[in-house]
Amino acid sequence: MEVNPGWKQGKFFMSRLFVEELGKAMVAPLIQKHQHLPQTPSSAGLLPVRAANMALPSVMVLPLLIVLAAGVYYIYNEVMQFMSKSLVRNKVVVITDAVSGLGTECAHLFHKGGARLILCGTSWDKLESLYDYLTNDADPRETFAPKLVILDFSDMDSMENVVAEVVECYGCVDVLICNSSMKLKAQVQSVSLEMDRNIMDINYFGPNTLAKGVLPTMISRRSGHILLVNSIQGRLAVPFRSSYAASKHAAQAFFDCLRAEVEEFGIVVSTISHTFINASDPPPGEEPAPKPNTLAAFITSQLTHGVRPSVLANEIMQTVNRKKKEVVLAHPIPRVALYLRSLFPSFLFAVLAAGVKDSVLAEPMQ
């Protein structure tokens, strides 16, 4: 039987009306209830408040991250300082030129950490004064009385006996810190051959001989750390310091070779390249002031801008604890100069030559 199409359409229309009416009947009470609610200020401004609450955490993210990072950094430093004391405790540590500003700072840090110190220097009176300074307020239950050894790198004939005396103090050496250094500022033609040899003895042959002397005990124990306190001029030469830079370049090369040769025995060799060591309050007139408004003179002066002994001593302690192999402790200008030396040497040579003074007096600086 054929169904009338008009009837089907009418049936669909009636069904649609029924659904719409049913929906109105269900929703109408809810709408009326909402319309009769009191419009308080809090409900009226609910949406802006929620938006503000959502925006507030996003604004606080950066300060919270900064505070969190600062807290982590503080805790890290405290932990490292605590560990530094335990890592050097009972270790036999040799410090050359211990009576210098840097040597005294290193002696204080390692003695406080419980190391068995062997302090070397050229003056017995100064070594005894340093001994009294370290032991007067020290707790004998936590620290060891340092041993004192006369060591003069300019007297190479006595080095064999000195090395034997150092090793006999405790029978071994765990950490050797080669700190001795002699500086010279002079024109090349004004430096005598005797002065060149003296600088090479103190800056190169001395640390070389001492390292070779303690090396057998480290190899037999398959443990040890040799640290050279070198100079940025072991990697970058500066005008009027030819002999000094040559000795530091030689020392850098020697300890770089030594590092590769003894690594299989578990021995760590570190070099710290720093700028000149300053006192806390450097005396005026120690370095000639650069010419005003001269870029070349400014860069040349920055290449020899120094660091405080306390800062360098802390870096030495961290290098020993973390077994770093190479450290460059310098300001931005010397660091940039190192990259220029490798990437744009001609430009650096031109800048250094432009900053050269007409004349300079040769004077050894201790």
- Report, as an integer, the average pLDDT of 218-227: 96
Query: Helix 332-343 to helix 295-303 angle, to the nearest 10 degrees?
Result: 100
Q: What pLDDT does 299 receive? A: 53
pLDDT interval class at 1 (50, 70, 90): very low
Average pLDDT, the chain: 80
Give the Cα separation of 118 and 194 in Å (integer).
31
| Domain assignment present for 9 | no
Using CA atoms, how far apart are residues 145 and 154, in angstroms rounded to an integer? Answer: 27
pLDDT digits (tens, 9 = 90+) for 278-294: 765 444 444 444 444 45
Evaluate if residue 260 carries a pLDDT over 80: yes
pLDDT for residue 95 is more than 70? yes
Judge whether 275 and 305 are in contact, CB under 8 Å.
yes
Residue type for 365, please?
M
* pLDDT tens profile 320-330: 999 999 999 98
49 is a domain residue:
no
Residue 215 lies in a domain: yes
155 pLDDT above the threshold of 70: yes
pLDDT at 228 over 90: yes
Task: Count how many domains the chain has.
Answer: 1
Lowest mean pLDDT among 46-60, 247-261, 303-317: 46-60
Euclidean distance between CA atoms 200 and 202, whole angstroms: 6
Is position 33 within any domain? no
Higher-scoring residue by pLDDT: 208, 51: 208
**Euclidean distance between CA atoms 292 and 23, whole angstroms:** 89
Q: Which residues are catalytic?
A: 244
Q: Which of 203-207, 281-285, 350-354 has the highest mean pLDDT?
A: 203-207
Give the rounded percent of residues in the chain with a pLDDT score beyond 90: 48
Say if residue 296's pLDDT is above 50: yes
Please return the burial class of 184, using the count of CB atoms within 10 Å of its CB with bins 0-12, 13-18 and 19+: buried
pTM, entire model: 0.70
CB 135, CB 104: distance < 8 Å: no
Q: Is residue 50 pLDDT above 60, yes or no?
A: no
C-alpha to C-alpha distance for 77 and 73, rounded to whole angstroms: 6
Average pLDDT over residues 3-18: 49
> Looking at residue 301, what is its pLDDT?
54
In tens, the pLDDT along 53-78 reads 555 566 677 777 888 888 887 787 66
Supply the pLDDT for residue 29: 52
Q: Is residue 70 part of a domain?
A: no
Q: Token pair 């390692």 is at which residue?
A: 110
Contact present, 277 and 234 (Cβ < 8 Å) = no
Read off the pLDDT of each residue in 150-161 and give the average, rounded to a whole number: 93
Res 176 pLDDT > 70: yes
User: Which residue's structure tokens are 């990697």?
Assistant: 235
Residue 40 or residue 104, greater confidence: 104
- What pLDDT is recorded for position 33? 47
Is 222 contained in some domain? Answer: yes
Gap between the Cα atoms of 106 and 229, Å rounded: 11
Share of the chain above pLDDT 70, in %: 71
Say yes or no to pLDDT of 357 above 70: no
Specify which residues 290 forms β-bridges with: none
Question: Is 214 part of any domain?
Answer: yes
Please report, for the domain that includes residue 258, its CATH number.
3.40.50.720
Rounded mean pLDDT, 206-227:
96
Q: What is the DSSP letter of 140?
A: T
User: Domain span at residue 265?
Assistant: 89-286+312-332
Please answer whether residues 240 and 187 qualify as being in contact, where contact means their C-beta atoms are separated by less than 8 angstroms. yes
Task: Identify the weakest region by mean pLDDT among 9-23, 84-98, 117-131, 241-255.
Answer: 9-23
